[in-house]
Amino acid sequence: MNAEKRVAELFGVAGKRALVTGATAGIGRLIAQGLAEAGVKVWAVARNAGEVDALARELSANTPCHAITADVTSDEGLAAIKAALGDLPLDILVNNAGINVDTPLDGDGREGFDTVLGLNVTAPFLVLQKVLPNLEKAATREDPSRVINITSVAALDPGGLPNYSYAASKSALAMMTRQLGRHLAKRNISCNAIAPGIFPSRMSEKFLGLKPGDTPPPAWASPLGGRAGTLDDITGATIYLCSRAGAWVTGIMLPVSGGAATIKSS
């Protein structure tokens, strides 16, 4: 086998099946798009039926994409995911759905914490439980099924925003990833996390005023280039973890942030 073909096979993911939650906006949309362009059959999950149907039609230009309208925090939503997959083997689960709401220090933060922890921590675990038989069906020793939890650089550095519930939830998800990495290994399933920095998203627009194409303000700029993340940045990290190249990696959190929260700019 020549070197070029070997590298292509090492990072190839075509033909795999992936479930991506929170797939219609921000990082979830980028991951769904990147996987579809790489030949992965995507089951896209989101609460808004119109948005997820439109995404499925768009991504199906590359490879079959299926829309699942579901709220991953509800029993009905979890049942809808399971019904859509049936008994199909599932190679990849990307737990991306998440939320960030204000939780003021001086005021009633209970509702905010309950909402954020429910979607950012509890839901990924419940989705995993629901599709675990599908992941086990696809898993082999040489090519484990993959679980990728989307955390945040907020799990590494508290930053300047008073987003207590969000930072706490992403830190909790990072630790749950490590714990799952240990226990799922016995079932030939790996579990890793990606910790994104600033990417164009509804969340970054709401909290930072950052619109697609904008350069982050100095306080939020990455040491590497001072820019926001792109489709290629998040796709590259995801494909690495899902391909043969990442088959022997589990229990880690991979920052994709241009060095934000991991190194200090000079």
Q: How far is it, in rounded angstroms, from Cα 160 to Cα 22?
A: 26
Q: Please report which helix (H) or strand (E) contains residue 98, including its range.
A: none
Q: Please report which helix (H) or strand (E) contains residue 140, including its range.
A: none
Q: Which residues of 74-96 are buried (b: 16+ CB within 10 A; e: fewer)?
A: eeebbebbbebbeeeebbbbbbb
Length of the chain: 266
Query: How far is C-alpha 128 from the chain's CA centre?
Result: 13
The two tokens of residue 64 are 């079959």
From start to end of 54-129, where are the E strands?
A: 65-69, 92-95
List active site positions.
166
Q: Which residues contact 2 (CB under 8 A, 6 or more apart)?
A: none
CA distances from residue 68 to 59, 176, 251 in whole angstroms, order as listed: 14, 25, 28
Kindly state the DSSP code that residue 156 receives in the 8-state scheme.
T
Q: Please report how the helices 231-242 and 26-37 are oriented relative to each other, as an axis angle in degrees rounded to 10.
A: 60
CB distance 149 to 177 below 8 Å: yes
Beta bridge partners of 253: 193
CB distance 258 to 229 below 8 Å: yes
